[in-house]
Amino acid sequence: TYDGGIGGEPGLEAHGGYAFCGLAAMEILGKTDLLDIPSLFVGRPNKLVDGCYSFWVGALFPVLEAIMTRQQLEKNNTNCEELHEFVEALQEYLLIACQYPKGGLIDKPKRSPDYYHTCYCLSGLSTSQHHVIYDVEKATSSGVKQGELNAGDRSLLWSEDETRILILGDPNNIVVS
């Protein structure tokens, strides 16, 4: 886009939903090297807070972690702590500001619930609680190089790391499948 992110088509403004879909598609195709990763966080100027972005932007992190793992970048504990704080703040916003008293989830306070925001707020909450990782060992133990795996095989190399579940507040706040 003109501001560096991913939009609905060339020249349009960047959008968190397109950033996730674009990154996920390029990951499935094995072509993430064609993206300017930092620009994925360029969002819509003056966009108000919206609960659905908890998924669209929050879901970038597992894919980015897989890319960094493949590139064998060293992890910096400071960054991990900052991410932990972000995840807690995200859960706090969803649990405090997005729950509608009569049921459903909302994009921001003083709004009514709808199916779209309920779906994506729950998806964002789940993504922030459950740590899904790309299994590099499984990928390399097959003897097939990463670029030679088809998209279907690559999609099976993701699994949950149950030792890294993060639940804010009451354990009953967990989103389970």
Q: Which of 15, 18, 121, 154 is catalytic?
A: 15
Catalytic residue status for 52: yes
Q: Which of 18, 50, 98, 130 is catalytic?
A: 50
Q: Which of 31, 47, 75, 164 is catalytic?
A: 47
Q: Which of 107, 120, 130, 154 is catalytic?
A: 107
| The pair of three-digit structure tokens given for residue 140, joined into one six-digit string | 């390399």
Catalytic residue status for 114: yes
Catalytic residue status for 98: no
pLDDT of 82-111, one tens digit each?
667 778 888 999 999 999 999 999 999 899
Half-sphere exposure of 91 (CA within 13 A, CB side): 21
Beta strands in 42-172 (DSSP E): 132-134, 158-160
Cα–Cα distance for residue pair 42/22, rounded to 1 Å: 13
Catalytic residue status for 120: no
SS3 146: helix
pLDDT of 119-166, one tens digit each?
999 999 999 898 887 776 776 666 666 567 777 777 788 888 888 888
Contact yes or no for 56/20 (Cβ under 8 A)? yes
Residue 145: its pLDDT value, please?
64
Is the pLDDT at 76 greater than 60, yes or no? no
Residue 70: its pLDDT value, please?
72
Q: Look-up: residue for tokens 């003056």?
A: 46
Catalytic residue status for 15: yes
Go through 90-128 and write b for each residue having 16 or more CB atoms within 10 A of its CB, e for each that does not. bbebbbeebeeeeebbbbeeeeebeeebbebbbbbbbbb
Contact yes or no for 134/157 (Cβ under 8 A)? yes
* φ/ψ bin of 6: left (φ > 0), alpha (ψ from -120 to 50), beta (otherwise): beta
Q: Which of 18, 98, 117, 154 is catalytic?
A: 117
Is the pLDDT at 116 greater than 90, yes or no? yes
Q: Which of 18, 52, 134, 154 is catalytic?
A: 52
Q: Look-up: residue for tokens 């939903």?
A: 17
pLDDT band at 61 (very low <50, low <70, confident <90, very high): confident
Q: What is the mean pLDDT of the chain?
A: 82
Catalytic residue status for 130: no
Cα–Cα distance for residue pair 12/33, rounded to 1 Å: 22
